[in-house]
Structure 1
Amino acid sequence: MKNLRQLTFGLTLLFALTPTLAQAQTTSISIESWRNDDLKIWRDVIIPAFEKRYPKIKVTFSPTAPTEYNAVVEAKLKGGTAGDIIACRPFDASLNLFKAGYLTSVNDLSGLKNFSTVAKAAWSTDDGKTTFCVPTAAVIHGFLYNKDIFDQLGLKEPKTEKEFLAVLDTIKSKGSVSPLVMGTKDQWEAATMGYQNIGPVLWAGEKGRLGLISGSAQYNKGGFLQAFEALAKWAPYLPSGYQALAYPDSQNIFGQGRGAVYPAGSWDIATFRNMNPKLKLGAFPPYTFTSGQKCVIDDHPDIGFGMNAKTKNKTAVRTFLNWMAGAEFARIYANALPGFYPLTKSSYKVNDPIAQEFLGWRKTCEASFRSSYQLLSRNANPNNENDLWNASAQVLNKTLTPKEAADFVQKNLASWYAPQKGK
């Protein structure tokens, strides 16, 4: 009887300890993010794929509303309650977290070799020596068009500015749809899908963008001025009353088939797929202006992921971040979110044909990103990004000439940014 009681006690103790032993073999980590619209994709697609490969690491995705994210995650980091992995906005917001000691360097991650210098720039220190978040995804700028309208009018995808304007002239002469769909009420589209879309070709991409940072290039000279001049040529082809059109209004016009060409960001692809599944989309990259000119796309960094410096699960976090830097994650993410493109050098294919078309431009065009995002928009007022919104909209509204717009942007930048002072 005594032996039986001892055996029963031993088995009871073993069963009681079993969950603890299992837990000791499993590490749980959590991810902070502002992409609350991605919750289902992370929960049902991305995390299960990771956990299948690494079953001893359990991952939770905990998003916050985009408008609240910066303040919420900073408060959590200060209070020591933030998740193990932090979604990183590009440039200054995340750089400030790194400078405050909340994010740690990821230079020693083996997966970081899968990213170019341009890809890492949005999540690196100003000198480029330290990267503090793994570059994850970018959006690409270009043009979408209604294939039915092009087919009806016998139009081909334009490759040069001359061809682009000729296409718009043909559509305008028919008078049934808007040749070029964009409004200026919200201002940002005029800069983001207008000036920053066609501009990199004119200012030679990274050469021009870095020239602004160093002070060797100015907004009112060379390619940056020429981009305002090229943008002004769009005005005659915009919808009637375009000055009052907000971003959703433009989406509705094009999505309903009432416009032919739409200056786009790749994030618009999913919107139009959902809005009108019958809409036959085509796409072409930013056009060139002179013979022999190189194609340059705005391949703009959108999101990265970094390590909470105070996490107690560094090994598990490093495993997850390295996995995010590889081809499996790239393939999954690119197809779960068409129009958001992993920044890794690893090759992957996107199932959506138009999203794949945008992605293919990385092989045929050079890449840069929006000129105002690195260093130049750190000043609150005047702010370079906001000035470009204002100036680009006014050029299209014909309330500023291209030269006046360029001088306005340059004067404001030179008023506070040391390398541009006196220029």
Structure 2
Amino acid sequence: MMKKLISTTALTGVVVGLGMSAAVADASLTIESWRNDDADIWNEKIIPAFNKVHPDIKVTFAPTPPADYNAGLNAKLAGGTAGDLITCRPFDASLDLYNKGHLTDLGSLDGMDNFSDVAKSAWQTDDGKATFCLPMASVIHGFIYNKEIFEEVGIDVPKTIPEFMDAVKKIKDETRYVPIAMGTADQWEAATMGYQNVGPNFWKGEEGRKAVIDGKEKLSDDAYVKTFEHLAQWKDYMGNGYKAQKYPDTQNLFTLGRAAIYPAGSWDITTFNSQADFKFGAFPPPVPANGDECYISDHTDIALGINAASPNKEAAEKFLSWMATSEFAEIYSNSLPGFFSLSNHKVEVQDPVAQEFVSWRDSCKSTIRNSYQILSRGTPNLENELWNVSAQVLNGTMSPEDAAAKTQDGLAKWYKPQM
């Protein structure tokens, strides 16, 4: 009787085990995302590549229009109808989801050690103890330039700020081209492709960014004044009417071959590939002087997490672990030039300009935009303040010293370490 009971129990265990394996193998996963523009890449490249390794896990990419994503996702999560995998925006929006119990802690996920602390920082708790989304990609800041104009004028790619200013002066003095393609009407360009682009070379990237968060440095310190002083130098080289120029106008100015240098985000590569009929390249933010260490804004942009209410968590973990591999990194980076895998894998990027951007990781230290983590939670919002003051500096209506003081004063109104 005992033998029969043991055999039955053992057989039951085998059946249960097989049942659990079958449940994982037959699982269906749904991905929530705001990136409705890259659905074809997921359906035609990413998911088929995953299914070669896990053929019995069905994956459906179900994007929402970007403007509707946050509200729609929150409604689905509240109603229990959200997908198994949640595409994560950086920092506070996703941190809020985690704090509300909607995302799982992925700290022990296989493959998470393929990402640096900087890569994970956008999807961690403030103390860094929990990581709730797997980093996917970043965008890198720098400058895109018209190679044909540089050759015509006889100038080399600038490596220092004095060389940069000499180049734009030469273009202005000797040609009818606009030296620097940028407008201030939308304001965000002034901060994102201006301040956050060149600033890390002054405040030493992560060292300065974290020092402000810790209250050890202030946004009115010399490094930040010098950043605005450099931006102020641009205003004489941005062309007629730049104060009324919007982002699409700036893109058109460059793609039509009428401007030499475009302060850029790497996301612009795809647009220029399709619209520009001339050769263009890229160079990193010039350093203040020869011999200075260089820093780049390698900004964390997108990640993927697991819905804590998903009934298919084991299958979801398998998908995320596969996304931590070099195979996914290469597919994603080459399918979306200008969006770069955040993993430590060495990826051969096929687009030449995208490869130029990502190559800077080998020679410069990476950081992220200094207003994105923690410092834009209060009122006034630091990110919005930077939009406004950066545009004013470029317009010549605010001095660099006043711009730096205004951001510091605003932060000190609500952020305790800066009070």
Please say whether Structure 1 and Structure 2 have the same fold, judged by a TM-score greater than 0.5.
yes
Q: Confirm or deny: 8 A CA contact 1:215 1:419 kept in the other structure.
A: yes
Residue in structure 2 matched with residue 35 of structure 1 by the alignment: 35
Residue in structure 2 matched with residue 285 of structure 1 by the alignment: 284
Q: Confirm or deny: 8 A CA contact 1:273 1:279 kept in the other structure.
A: no
Residue in structure 1 matched with residue 180 of structure 2 by the alignment: 180
Residue in structure 2 matched with residue 118 of structure 1 by the alignment: 118
Residue in structure 2 matched with residue 305 of structure 1 by the alignment: 304
For 1:339-354, list aligned pairs within 5 A.
339-354=338-353
CA separation in 2, counterparts of 1:370 and 1:315? 34
Residue in structure 1 matched with residue 3 of structure 2 by the alignment: none
Q: Confirm or deny: 8 A CA contact 1:87 1:304 kept in the other structure.
A: yes
CA separation in 1, counterparts of 2:157 and 2:128? 38
CA separation in 1, counterparts of 2:410 and 2:22? 61
1:48 aligned onto 2:42: no
CA shift at 1:315, angstroms?
A: 1.1
- Structure 1 window deviating more from structure 2 (385-394 vs 217-226): it is 217-226
Q: Which of 392, 401, 406 is the equivalent residue of 1:394?
A: 392
Indicate how the Cα distance of structure 1 residues 24 and 407 shifts in structure 2: closer, same or farther if over 3 A, else same.
closer
The one-letter code sitting in structure 1 at the alignment partner of 2:388 is: N
CA separation in 2, counterparts of 1:132 and 1:372? 21
Q: Secondary structure at the match of 1:209?
A: helix
Residue in structure 2 matched with residue 73 of structure 1 by the alignment: 73
CA shift at 1:105, angstroms?
A: 0.2
Q: Deviations over 1:180-222 (max 9, x none)?
A: 1000000000010001100001000001000110111111112
CA separation in 2, counterparts of 1:349 and 1:319? 25
Residue in structure 2 matched with residue 156 of structure 1 by the alignment: 156
Q: Secondary structure at the match of 1:345?
A: coil
CA separation in 2, counterparts of 1:241 and 1:266? 25
CA separation in 2, counterparts of 1:324 and 1:22? 22
CA separation in 2, counterparts of 1:193 and 1:23? 48
Q: Confirm or deny: 8 A CA contact 2:24 2:312 kept in the other structure.
A: no
CA separation in 2, counterparts of 1:333 and 1:191? 27
For 1:196-211, list aligned pairs within 5 A.
196-211=196-211
CA shift at 1:279, angstroms?
A: 2.1
Residue in structure 1 matched with residue 262 of structure 2 by the alignment: 262
What's the RMSD between the two structures over aligned residues?
1.2
What TM-score does the superposition give when structure 1 sets the normalisation length? 0.93
Q: Secondary structure at the match of 1:60?
A: strand
The one-letter code sitting in structure 2 at the alignment partner of 1:249 is: D
CA shift at 1:274, angstroms?
A: 1.3
Indicate how the Cα distance of structure 1 residues 148 and 79 shifts in structure 2: closer, same or farther if over 3 A, else same.
same
Query: Percent same amino acid at aligned positions?
Result: 55
Q: Secondary structure at the match of 1:392?
A: helix
Q: Confirm or deny: 8 A CA contact 2:24 2:57 kept in the other structure.
A: no
Q: Confirm or deny: 8 A CA contact 1:196 1:370 kept in the other structure.
A: yes
Indicate how the Cα distance of structure 1 residues 409 and 51 shifts in structure 2: closer, same or farther if over 3 A, else same.
same
Q: Confirm or deny: 8 A CA contact 2:158 2:164 kept in the other structure.
A: yes
Q: Deviations over 1:213-251 (max 9, x none)?
A: 011111111211211111111111001110000000000
Residue in structure 1 matched with residue 408 of structure 2 by the alignment: 410
Residue in structure 1 matched with residue 245 of structure 2 by the alignment: 245
CA separation in 1, counterparts of 2:380 and 2:360? 34
1:94 aligned onto 2:78: no
Residue in structure 2 matched with residue 319 of structure 1 by the alignment: 318
CA shift at 1:135, angstroms?
A: 0.6
- Structure 1 window deviating more from structure 2 (284-293 vs 406-415): it is 284-293
CA shift at 1:78, angstroms?
A: 1.0
CA separation in 1, counterparts of 2:132 and 2:259? 43
CA separation in 1, counterparts of 2:367 and 2:245? 29
CA separation in 2, counterparts of 1:23 and 1:382? 50
CA separation in 2, counterparts of 1:347 and 1:69? 32
Q: Confirm or deny: 8 A CA contact 1:114 1:325 kept in the other structure.
A: yes
The one-letter code sitting in structure 2 at the alignment partner of 1:230 is: H
CA shift at 1:24, angstroms?
A: 8.4
Residue in structure 2 matched with residue 135 of structure 1 by the alignment: 135
The one-letter code sitting in structure 2 at the alignment partner of 1:350 is: V
Q: Deviations over 1:281-316 (max 9, x none)?
A: 111001101232111000000000000001111111
CA shift at 1:23, angstroms?
A: 8.7
The one-letter code sitting in structure 1 at the alignment partner of 2:194 is: G
Q: Secondary structure at the match of 1:211?
A: helix
Indicate how the Cα distance of structure 1 residues 30 and 201 shifts in structure 2: closer, same or farther if over 3 A, else same.
same
The one-letter code sitting in structure 1 at the alignment partner of 2:415 is: Y
Residue in structure 2 matched with residue 7 of structure 1 by the alignment: none
Residue in structure 2 matched with residue 83 of structure 1 by the alignment: 83
CA separation in 2, counterparts of 1:23 and 1:201? 52
The one-letter code sitting in structure 2 at the alignment partner of 1:352 is: D
CA separation in 1, counterparts of 2:348 and 2:67? 32
Q: Confirm or deny: 8 A CA contact 1:155 1:167 kept in the other structure.
A: yes
CA separation in 1, counterparts of 2:170 and 2:396? 23
CA separation in 2, counterparts of 1:372 and 1:344? 23
Q: Secondary structure at the match of 1:233?
A: helix
The gaps in structure 2 that reach 5 residues or longer are 1-20
Q: Deviations over 1:353-375 (max 9, x none)?
A: 00000010001100101010000
CA shift at 1:22, angstroms?
A: 9.0
CA shift at 1:386, angstroms?
A: 0.2
Q: Confirm or deny: 8 A CA contact 1:104 1:309 kept in the other structure.
A: yes
The one-letter code sitting in structure 2 at the alignment partner of 1:401 is: S
4+ residue runs of structure 1 moved beyond 3 angstroms? 21-25
Q: Secondary structure at the match of 1:46?
A: helix
CA shift at 1:109, angstroms?
A: 0.5
Aligned residues: 399
The one-letter code sitting in structure 1 at the alignment partner of 2:334 is: N
Q: Secondary structure at the match of 1:158?
A: coil
Q: Secondary structure at the match of 2:31?
A: strand
What TM-score does the superposition give when structure 2 sets the normalisation length? 0.94
